[in-house]
Amino acid sequence: MTATPHKLWQFHGGLKLPDHKAESTGGPVVTPPLAERLILPLRQHIGQPAQACVQQGEHVFKGQIIARCDTYVGAHIHAPTSGRVVAIGDHPVPHPSGLSAPCITLEPDGKDDWGDCRMPPLGEDEAADPTTLRNRVREAGIVGLGGAAFPAAVKLNPRPNQAIDTLIVNGAECEPYITCDDMLMRTRAREIIAGLLLVQRTLGPARCLIGIEDNKPEALRAMTEALGGEEQDNIRIVALPSIYPTGGERQLIRILTGREVPSDGLPADVGVVCHNVATLAAIHRAVHHGEPLISRIVTVTGSGVRSPRNLQVPIGTPIAHLVAHAGGYTEAVERLIMGGPMMGFALPSDEVPIIKGGNCVLAAEAGEVSAPEPVMPCIRCGECVRVCPVRLLPQQLYWHTRAKDFDKAQDHNLFDCIECGCCAHVCPSNIPLVQYFRFAKNEIWAQERERQQADAARMRHELRRQRLEREKREKAERMNRKRQAPGGTSGAADAAKKAAVQAALERAQARKATQQDASKSDAS
């Protein structure tokens, strides 16, 4: 139950990068005071966005669900503290597009009052029931906290034909500068192990492998100590080589098991489920303490802040508040990035909030992170192919996406790209390859949405046409049956009408005759 020798495999490509980890790990994890306002985007996970279930001006308690997402791949959003909802509308959000999106803005009241919104802790027997555990994880709004933000409850519910024999705990944290998982493992290792044991009982894997890069000796030691009292011989901590992107899900599976996840498949298809260390700690908090996912550790680092550190902050905290509690900006700060230097993206301002998947804020000085340089033509050197960890042909994808030939891009497995940035990092022509690939993916998704909407509109039109034709046919059939019915209600009604008309005519004629007789009498 220690970092014992374990056979490791290799993935293709990758890079050995300066880690820049020490800058933010010199002190403890700090919990700053609450910000004046918290901004909670309604889309913080893969899948459909949540829908606000509170009104502007409403008072909410800490832990209260303020936006629901009842689709299978979805996650609720909870109030990180008690306070008043002051706005529901568009606000800048952390996204590569730099656009705004629907958000709930909460003004804390300073009481941090749970009311009756804290979920009751689950007992051991309850937590051992897979359905109960999945429901708790779902109700707590837990998503993958390694960056992907995939709803965690879905990973706890593999299909019947997916036999899970390996649970992998991802503590690699391979991207430079980011240290929030490292600090979590150092300071709250027992919470991670508690969450691991819950997931282990639910999935029933034969083994659990905890992968941690070898540049985190304190985390390796803390996790080993946390395992020391557990008689779990099928749990093993594995020290991994510090090669980027070891923490990628498919790359980690390859390193630890030698298995390759199919291009169009999922880890469960090869008998594996992966969870990030922070996700497991959140599962423990939800099950044993009744806490939904309302806060996380965020690394605030880079030469652009005076005191790089890790902060435990509520979801929705504006980045400006984080920077202020990391000593503030230096005079030379040039760029603000959400995430790390490889997979992160530039932010338009520091008013955007931290979301569930937000693990790092990088304030960079000039030259610290590769800045956009003049783009030159591709020279077909093949460096991007050499470093691609997914064995793609980035130069071919570049040509097809630049030409907007998205069909050929998909033929070259565009959606297998994990956007790790290795190709762009080594490109001598400074081509922003990942930006091209993200653009192509978004265009394909947009076209697919438009196609689905058009198909739905056609279906609605066709169903309406069929309904109108059916109603017209049924009406004609009813009328025909009435006409053909011998002595039916329709015939009797017609006869009655004719008799009434005839009687009226006869009465009119009688009155006319009477009037004529009276006229003759008066004349004589």
User: Is residue 323 within 8 Å of 348, Cβ to Cβ?
Assistant: no
The whole-number pLDDT of residue 188 equals 98
d(CA 410, CA 168): 29
Maximum Cα–Cα distance for the chain, whole Å? Answer: 141
The whole-number pLDDT of residue 1 equals 44
Identify the residue whose tokens are 């009842």.
Answer: 70
The whole-number pLDDT of residue 231 equals 46
| Average pLDDT of the residues of the chain | 92
| 3 state DSSP class of 199 | helix
The CA-CA-CA angle for residues 344, 78, 151, to 5°, reads 55
Please report, for the chain, how many H helices and E strands are present, in that order: 15, 16
Q: Which residues are part of a known binding site for [4Fe-4S] cluster?
A: 378, 381, 384, 388, 417, 420, 423, 427
Is pTM, for the whole model, over 0.75? yes
The whole-number pLDDT of residue 233 equals 72
- Phi-psi map region of 327: left, alpha, beta (phi>0 left; psi -120 to 50 alpha): left
Q: Compute CA distances 58 → 89, 106, 110, 119, 291, whole Å.
A: 15, 10, 16, 21, 22
The contacts of residue 235 (CB under 8 Å, 6+ apart) are 1, 196, 200, 207, 208, 210, 227
Q: Which residues are part of a known binding site?
A: 378, 381, 384, 388, 417, 420, 423, 427
d(CA 518, CA 511): 11
The whole-number pLDDT of residue 484 equals 78
* pLDDT tens string 412-428: 999 999 999 999 999 99
User: Is residue 283 within 8 Å of 300, Cβ to Cβ?
Assistant: no
d(CA 103, CA 89): 5
The whole-number pLDDT of residue 165 equals 95
The whole-number pLDDT of residue 504 equals 83
What domains lie within the chain, and their CATH numbers?
22-110+121-334 (3.40.50.11540), 376-475 (no CATH)
Per-residue pLDDT of the chain (524 residues; tens, 9 = 90+): 445 678 999 999 999 999 999 999 999 999 999 999 999 999 999 888 999 999 999 999 999 999 999 999 999 999 999 999 999 999 999 988 888 999 999 999 999 999 999 999 999 999 999 999 999 999 999 999 987 899 999 999 988 888 899 999 999 999 999 999 999 999 999 999 999 999 999 999 999 999 999 999 999 999 999 998 554 678 999 999 999 999 999 999 999 999 999 988 999 999 999 999 999 999 999 999 999 999 999 999 999 999 999 999 999 999 999 999 999 999 999 999 999 999 999 998 999 999 999 999 999 998 888 777 899 999 999 999 999 999 999 999 999 999 999 999 999 999 999 999 999 999 999 999 999 999 999 999 889 889 989 999 999 999 999 999 999 998 888 888 887 776 555 556 667 777 888 888 888 888 887 777 666 666 55
165 CB burial (10 A radius; 0-12, 13-18, 19+): middle
Q: What's at 427, amino acid-wise?
A: C
CA nearest 511: which of 499, 521, 519? 519
